[in-house]
């Protein structure tokens, strides 16, 4: 980009020099036509230089706006998946199951309290002297719908599979399964959408650059995603500037 700008500026300066040379050495009859043509060229190159700087600014502004909307949807998917794991012990593998779960499932409300009971073994060992041990009792207080806990009065979860901005009609990709860790099968999930989908109508060269981003301040890779199918994580791949990780 910097090289391109320097080239444009160099051409503009060269054109200005040519205008002065024409004014000095070219016959009077030809001067008006050549000078007008060169000034038109200067105006065109000036416009191209301005847009080469301004277009990335517009792109970044639009990109951040769209990423913010998409990330809110990914956070909804993550919250719903975490609720699904809490109730069922695993993540949902498709959106139909996830939406049905939100519609019908309930959280169990519990209360933990400390108590103590007679430890029969120790009591026997100490010749009948009553010995107590501490225990934790979990009481079930009731149930509350997952839908109310996560989405209150909103029904946006019914469209949780739809990418809210970018190319119309696109849906998030959702995967779920297990990874082995310390001889245990641990549930994992991943929800994602390609940057190409989110930025489908933006300048192709800028989208290509965005897909190659690798920095702590940007969204790395060619997609926005939350979770992972390779490791145990439920965070997103966006920096904190866009929202919670």
Residue-wise pLDDT tens digits, 5-40: 665 666 667 667 766 766 666 666 766 776 677 677
Res. 137: pLDDT tops 90: no
User: Mapped to the 3 state alphabet, what secondary structure does the chain carry?
Assistant: CHHHHHHHHHHHHHHHHHHHHHHHHCCCCCHHHHHHHHHHHHHHHHHHHHHHHHHHHHHHHHHHHHHHHHHHHHHHHHHHHHHHHHHHCCCCCCHHHHHHHHHHCEEEEEEEEEEEEECHHHHHHCCCCCCEEEEEEEEEEEEEEHHHHHHCCCCHHHHCCECCCCCCCCECEEEEEEEEECCEEEEEEEEEEEHHHHCCCCCHHHHHHHHCCCCCCCCCCCEEEEECCCCCCCCECCCHHHCCC
pLDDT at 142: 58
pLDDT band at 183 (very low <50, low <70, confident <90, very high): confident
**Assessment of whether the complete model's pTM goes beyond 0.85:** no
Mean pLDDT of 37-48: 70
Name the more confident of 7 and 194. 194
Residue-wise pLDDT tens digits, 93-102: 999 999 999 9
Res. 143: pLDDT tops 60: no
pLDDT at 217: 83
């Amino acid at each position: 980009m910097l090289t391109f700008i320097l080239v444009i500026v160099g051409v503009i300066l060269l054109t200005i020099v040519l205008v002065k040379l024409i004014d000095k050495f070219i016959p009077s009859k030809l001067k008006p036509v050549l000078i007008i043509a060169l000034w038109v060229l200067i105006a065109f190159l000036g416009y191209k230089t301005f847009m080469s700087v301004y277009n990335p600014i517009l792109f970044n502004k639009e990109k951040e706006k769209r990423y913010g909307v998409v990330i809110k949807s990914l956070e909804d998917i993550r919250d719903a998946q975490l609720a699904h794991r809490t109730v069922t012990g695993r993540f949902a593998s498709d959106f139909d199951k996830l939406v049905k779960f939100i519609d019908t499932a309930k959280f169990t409300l519990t209360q933990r309290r400390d108590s103590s009971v007679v430890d029969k073994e120790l009591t026997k060992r100490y010749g009948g002297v009553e010995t107590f041990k501490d225990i934790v009792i979990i009481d079930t207080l009731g149930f509350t719908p997952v839908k109310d806990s996560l989405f209150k009065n909103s029904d946006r979860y019914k469209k949780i599979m739809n990418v809210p901005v970018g190319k119309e009609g696109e849906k998030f990709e959702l995967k779920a399964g297990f990874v082995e860790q310390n001889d245990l099968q641990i549930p994992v999930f991943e929800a994602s959408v390609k940057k190409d989908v989110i930025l489908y109508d933006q300048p192709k060269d800028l989208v290509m650059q965005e897909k190659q981003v690798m920095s702590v301040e940007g969204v790395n890779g060619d997609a926005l995603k939350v979770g992972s199918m390779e490791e145990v994580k439920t965070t997103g791949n966006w920096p904190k500037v866009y929202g919670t990780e």
